[in-house]
Amino acid sequence: MKIVKRLFLALLVLIFLLVGSAIALPFLFKDKLTALAKEEINRNVQATVDFKGVDLSLLRSFPNFTLELQDYSVSGINEFEGIQLAAGKNLAFTLDLMSVISSTRPVEILSVRLEEPIIHVLVLQDGRANYDIALPADETAEASGAEADYSNVLIQLQEYSINNGQLIYDDRSLDVYVDAQNINHQGAGDFTIDVYDLDTHTEVGALTVQQSGITYLKNARANLDAIFNIEQAISKYNLKDNELKINDLQLTADGFVQLVEDDINMELAFSSPQNDFKSFLSMIPNAYIEGYEDVKADGKFTLAGEVSGTYNGDREEYPGFSIESSITEGNIQYPGLPLGIRNINSQVKVNSPGSDFDDLVVDVPRFAFTLGQNPFQGSFALRTPISDPDVKTTAKGVINLKELAQAFPMEGIQELSGIINADLRADTRLSFIENEQYERVNMDGRLQVNQVNYRSEGLPAVQVKDMQMTFNPQNVSLSNFEAQLGKSDIRAQGTIDNILAYFSPDKTMKGNLKVTSNYFLADEWIPAEEPAAGPAATPPAASTDETAIFDRFDFTLDASIQELVYDVYTIRNGAARGNMTPNRLTVSQLSGQIADSDFNASGVILNVFDYLFADGVLGGNITMDSRMMNLNQFMEEETGTSPGGAESEAYSVIPVPPNIDMTIDANIGKVVYTNMELENVRGKLMIAEQAILVDNVTANGLGGAMAMSGSYDTKDIENPNFRFKYDLQKLDFRQAFSTLNTFQQLAPIGKFITGSFSSTMIMDGSLGSDLMPKLESINAEGFLETLNGLIVGFAPAQAIGEKLNIDYLKNNINIANSRNWFTIKNGTLALQEYDAKVKDIAMKIGGTYNITNKMDLNIKAKIPRKLLEQNAIGAAASSGFNLLQKEASKLGLNIQQGEFVNVLINLAGDIQKPQVGLKLLGTDGESTAADAAKDQVKAEAQKAIDEGKQVVKETTDKAIDSVKTVATQKAEEAKKQLEEQAKKEAEKALGTVVDSTTQKKAEDLLKDATKGEADKIKENLDKWNPFGKKKKDGGN
């Protein structure tokens, strides 16, 4: 009994230890396995690999170990940036426990399980693929310092599985698109031996296959049970027992695939063991409907094919293949539909012996069916499709589209009716047509379409009223095409000169087309833009419903539309003439009228198809002429609230589209932009990188002429910016400052000036949502030259006139021939000091004005004393000469002795309510009178003392006793005399000015004290580059 108790106790202890170990071991080895997983993955891939968590367990697969990577992703880099190659809920590995514990054994992987994986394979047109993420051997060695070492991991797989996966294969080099949803897959085998059987089972819930715009499978169900015999040593995969079922069609295959270096050798044969037509019908897109088991279908079907040879994409070597299929006496009747399709018969043979696709042979000796009471039959044969397509085809019969809709399910189609009548024959080669050997061309017949009506969900109704095509040895002629597309009407005629070029990827179809329309509503056919939900994780894949865009054509186009409506624009009398190929549109005329704006353009537009259907850049060179262009029509209007509370309309930002690199040479008679009108506008516009670059655009307007260069940039649509250089010649002050809002707010004095001016300046800043500059962001520098001008009704000038009691300063101040250097920084105008003269008053003017309507201006004026005196009679004590005398007396000075009085006038505060301050200046016109008088007295006193000392020294040698007395007396007398003289000189100095003949001319302005700052502005004007980037310090 004791033995039993001891055994039972020992068993309990053992269980406890095992359970404890099962719980503890994962935590003990978690860090090791996590580090190992990340190290092994990341050091050997050209991708970004990540996983949010790691789960370790011994209980799930005891006695083995389970490692799970949770929420993992593998994202591309470089050209595949932002594209996920793989992602999933979790990736689980079953590992041999002893190999994990041991420090000397490699970790053995026994099984792999993927939960909800999403695989997106993308192959670009140049063949680069996002799955090619393994580092080359030399890069791996360089990164690690040695050859890649995989000895710490050993793959000993016994099974693997995929649960609820998704695969997208988008191969743009072959124009193949595959989308497989709801994938479940299991595989088992002994991967540890050289030759073993891999037993697999695969289910796909929805399989779509598309190539070159043709959908071969659409949401088909697929199941595959297959056993592969794998010879690892020679990388050979042999098919054994297998069965593939797609919808209702069963297929079996036999053969092998072998990898030999860069080659893929294959010998495969496939066939359908079933021979009923209904199983084949289930493969046709839209034919396999819910409740397909109730479809009545009979007839025979056969399918067999083989693929044999070597595939090597680098040297463009492809295996040969052949396919044979036939349908005999097929009939269909769908439940709920009144009609069926009867007498379906066809034979198809396709054979391609190898890599030269010019050896491809297609034979369809017969295809026929009866729809309602109308039989239709035809044949088709193709030889040498690459070098010289040799086509033999016939088509004869009537198709009633209304009967077709009553016999075959049409998802999403609300109405279908009309008649197609064909009777045509062709037996010729493309070379016969191109060489105009029409006697060797056997082609004739007609194709008629009448009263076709088509309505589907989400699209306007389409009605083809009439289409007539005739076939003859010279060409295929479209004698008439008349249709109603929604609210739009269209008519067309044209010819196709070499229709057989359609069959050769190396040939271009040529022809001409004339299109006319009275009214075309483009909005009906342009899908609405969906709001962006965030950055796309993958590039847009080809839609499984769209057809391939035919891009091998060269057509002469002549189109005219009386009224074309797009968005808020209506183009009238539109015309387009030229030559059109997919990526080159040569325009001889593109003209139209938009409200009161007209345009007539010619030139070349490049990469049209690449821009519309891929990620290409639309380029070209266009010359545009216009009599009138009202740009306000193309600027979106926003309703806002004015400062007074009333609603007003403002213009919003015009975004410049990306992927455009185009040059436009414009010649426009009149341009209207906001409230400005310009004439004879000429120049070059370049659209690139979401910006419009303006190069040497000239125009007449605002009473003069102007030229400008610069840029309007919308890369940051929330904060667009501008950068321009202006050269304005003889503009009218009032027109310019009443039209240009920015000038109004930065230099409001302009609206009080009559006359003309010239200016050169550079300016940059940000634009608001109303397309107006943000004043606080503006930086500018330049100069303004007044050719002639009068300041009329300007409050600050009137205030100065009142303060000095000088009437001619109050109004009609002549400012002709002044040249003013200025800078604007963050919306504050800084006026560099410049010389001016108003009648007899010489001035130096400088200061600042900001966007809050506050000014701080200093005027150093040299006023004739007589002018002040003659206006002093009857004047108030607080103005003019009386005020200045009062200020001088405080300093103990007499301003009546000088010819001129130097005064510093300060203007401050609001420009409408200016504050005027006056200060007396010294003879230099710069220092204050008080400082000047004080300095002069000190200088004269010191001079007297020095002279006295000299007198004392000279008399010392004559007599010691008497000399002291005499020297003292002389020194005192000299001192008093010199002090009196100094006082007189100081008083006289207050009125001294330079003669008017020394007034500086505008051309000599750069020689004064402001030369350094003006030179800097001039240098910036000279070196400004409209296409360069602004430096951080604000330079150019």
Instruction: List, for residues 937-946, the tens digit of each pLDDT value.
Output: 454 445 545 5
Q: Is residue 529 scored above 60 in pLDDT?
A: no
Average pLDDT over every residue of 857-864:
90
Q: Is residue 479 scored above 80 in pLDDT?
A: yes
Residue 19's pLDDT is what? 39
953, amino acid identity: K
Residue 137's pLDDT is what? 53
For residue 140, what are the CA distances in angstroms to 76, 260, 461, 846? 18, 23, 60, 69
pLDDT class of 51 with cuts at 50, 70, 90 = confident
Residue 55's pLDDT is what? 73
Calculate what percentage of the chain has a pLDDT beyond 70.
76
Q: Which of 706-720, 879-893, 994-1008 is modeled with the greatest confidence?
A: 706-720
Q: Is residue 178 scored above 90 in pLDDT?
A: yes
Average pLDDT over the chain reads 79
Calculate what percentage of the chain has a pLDDT beyond 90.
34
Cβ atoms 964, 957 nearer than 8 A: no
Average pLDDT over every residue of 602-606:
92
Q: Is residue 161 scored above 70 in pLDDT?
A: yes
pLDDT class of 728 with cuts at 50, 70, 90 = very high
Instruction: List, for residues 537-553, the tens digit of each pLDDT value.
Output: 344 444 444 445 567 88
Average pLDDT over every residue of 609-637:
83
Residue 895's pLDDT is what? 67
Handedness of CA 699, 702, 705, 708 (dihedral sign): negative
Beta-strand (E) ranges in 401-508?
413-429, 442-456, 462-471, 476-485, 488-496
Q: Is residue 492 scored above 70 in pLDDT?
A: yes
Q: Is residue 456 scored above 50 in pLDDT?
A: yes
Quote the CA–CA distance of 1031 and 872 in Å, as a whole number. Answer: 56
Chain centre to alpha carbon of residue 172: 23
**Least-confidence region, from 270-284, 640-654, 843-857, 900-914:** 640-654
Q: Supply the DSSP symbol for 767.
A: B
Residue 76's pLDDT is what? 85
Radius of gyration of the chain measured on its C-alpha atoms? 46
Buried/exposed code over 191-227 (b: 16+ C-beta within 10 A; e: otherwise):
beeeeeebbbebebebbbbbeeeebebbbbbbebebe
pLDDT class of 350 with cuts at 50, 70, 90 = very high
pLDDT class of 47 with cuts at 50, 70, 90 = confident
More confident residue, 365 or 81: 365
Residue 60's pLDDT is what? 58
* Dihedral angle computed from the Cα positions of residues 885, 889, 891 and 892, in that order, rounded to the nearest 10 degrees: 130
Residue 166's pLDDT is what? 94
Residue 740's pLDDT is what? 80
Cβ atoms 311, 266 nearer than 8 A: yes
**Least-confidence region, from 513-517, 571-575, 919-923, 984-988:** 984-988
Cβ atoms 127, 313 nearer than 8 A: yes
More confident residue, 467 or 638: 467
Residue 463's pLDDT is what? 96
Q: Is residue 644 scored above 60 in pLDDT?
A: no
Taking CB atoms within 8 Å and a gap of at least 24, the contacts of 312-318 are 312/262, 312/263, 312/264, 313/127, 314/262, 316/355, 317/263, 317/355, 318/354, 318/355, 318/357
pLDDT class of 525 with cuts at 50, 70, 90 = confident
Quote the CA–CA distance of 416 and 404 in Å, as a whole number. Answer: 8
Place of tokens 């098919």: 239
Residue 12's pLDDT is what? 37
Q: Is residue 285 scored above 60 in pLDDT?
A: yes
pTM over 0.85: no
Quote the CA–CA distance of 403 and 207 in Å, as a whole number. Answer: 30
Quote the CA–CA distance of 295 and 297 in Å, as a whole number. Answer: 6
Residue 859, burial from CB neighbour count under 10 angstroms (0-12, 13-18, 19+): buried
Residue 306's pLDDT is what? 95
Instruction: List, for residues 738-751, the tens digit of each pLDDT value.
Output: 888 777 777 788 88
Residue 363's pLDDT is what? 96
Place of tokens 């008399």: 955
pLDDT class of 608 with cuts at 50, 70, 90 = confident
Q: Which of 630-634, 785-789, 894-898, 1027-1031 is modeled with the greatest confidence?
A: 785-789
Residue 477's pLDDT is what? 93
Instruction: List, for residues 778-813, the tens digit of each pLDDT value.
Output: 888 988 898 888 888 888 888 888 888 888 888 788
Q: Is residue 495 scored above 90 in pLDDT?
A: yes
Instruction: List, for residues 580-601, the tens digit of each pLDDT value.
Output: 888 888 999 999 999 999 999 9
Residue 190's pLDDT is what? 84
Q: Is residue 322 scored above 60 in pLDDT?
A: yes
**Least-confidence region, from 887-896, 927-936, 1013-1022:** 927-936
Residue 103, burial from CB neighbour count under 10 angstroms (0-12, 13-18, 19+): exposed
Average pLDDT over every residue of 893-907:
80
pLDDT class of 416 with cuts at 50, 70, 90 = very high
Residue 400's pLDDT is what? 95
For residue 960, what are the CA distances in angstroms to 288, 581, 945, 946? 142, 119, 20, 20
* Dihedral angle computed from the Cα positions of residues 1000, 1001, 1006 and 1007, in that order, rounded to the nearest 10 degrees: -40
Cβ atoms 192, 169 nearer than 8 A: no
Quote the CA–CA distance of 386 and 389 in Å, as a whole number. Answer: 6
Residue 823, strand partner residues: 781, 830
More confident residue, 314 or 730: 730
pLDDT class of 934 with cuts at 50, 70, 90 = low
Quote the CA–CA distance of 452 and 462 in Å, as a whole number. Answer: 8
